[in-house]
Structure 1
Amino acid sequence: MLVEIVAEIDLNRAFRHLQTEGAGGINLFIGTVRDHANGKKVRLLEFEAYIPMALLEMQRIGQKAMERWALERVVIQHVTGEKKVGEPVVITGASSAHRAAAFEASRFLIDELKKTVPIWKKEYYEDSSVWVNAYP
């Protein structure tokens, strides 16, 4: 399992980690900064995390996915710091013998990460800024 809080998302590292000889399906979800939110134009996002707790929770989520589905491997990467529109900020991924498990597990990973991992996002608009999630 590859679980990381990083300054930059490394798509190649994530993909290489998920590759195994037994993996017939690899699914990667990539979350990026979009240019709008709440009817406003977004300039950039800033992420902060309580890293020790975030890594523990990400590890727990990954382990839960491994137990629920017949997976080869799991990856979860999330950034901290400022990111511009179009830049990747989170990856969840799973590999398995068959695609269904990889798709289902990857969706589970991102949904659980958003619910429980202590990572906070601040949106910077053209006219203001706001912390979007004060707590998971």
Structure 2
Amino acid sequence: MGTPRVSVQTEDFDLSTEVARLRAEKKGVGAVCAFVGTVRDRNEGVSVSTMELEHYPGMTEKAIEAMIDEAHQRFDILGARVIHRVGLLEPLDQIVLVAVISAHRDESFRACEFLMDYLKTQAPFWKKEQTPEGARWVDARVSDDAALARWGIASRNT
């Protein structure tokens, strides 16, 4: 078996290495779409010094695996890889990688966007930011729920 489809980890990741691994596992790859999310230094107009991400080991990976299965059902893709970091992160640190391979670009773009929309609202992660006013938990935004709704999926947050 090749590289796992899902990794939840404290370590950083290398985009080039991850995309190369994903591409090497399938023939017929004509398109790769990758999204990398990073920690912002501001959120809702407030300075953010760190972000801490928590998850339930096992449950989180299973939920993301189900998301990838759903992407395979909806789109003509050859493979996908999701890496999500947990632990204490600082501004500009990488948080998440979603990479999708397909024969043609449209399917990889759409599947990558679908997976990211799904992750933002459905993946069981808890985010706590440190701000000048103290620590605060981060909730999903209404815009994140709306992005998921366009795929015909109701957010678990609504």
Q: Does the TM-score normalized on the shorter chain lie above 0.5? A: yes
Identity %: 31
How far residue 83 of structure 1 moved from its aligned partner, in angstroms, is 0.6
Aligned-pair Cα RMSD in Å: 1.7
Please list every run of 5 or more consecutive structure 2 residues that lacks an aligned counterpart in the other structure.
141-155
Deviation string, structure 1 residues 61-85 (Cα, Å, up to 9, x no partner): 0011112111111011111101111
Out of 4, 16, 20, the residue aligned to residue 12 of structure 1 is 16
Aligned equivalent of 2:152: none
Q: Which residue of 2 aligns with 1:86?
A: 92
The aligned counterpart of 2:30 is 24
Q: In the aligned structure 2, how far is the partner of 1:51 from the partner of 1:84?
A: 22
Structure showing the higher strand proportion among its residues: 1
1:22 CA displacement: 1.3
Paired residue total: 136
Which of 108, 118, 128 is 2:114 aligned to? 108
What is the distance in 2 between the residues matched to 1:84 and 1:2? Answer: 25
The CA deviation at 1:110 is 0.9
* Structure 2: distance between partners of 1:70 and 1:38: 37
Deviation at 1:39, TM superposition (A): 1.2
Distance 2:116 2:17 in 1: 18
Q: Mapping of 1:117-128 within 5 angstroms?
A: 117-128=123-134
Gaps of 5+ in 1: none
Superposed CA offset, 1:23-57 (max 9, x none): 11101111100110121111111000012111111
Amino acid at match of 1:50: Y
Q: Partner of 2:68 in structure 1?
A: 62
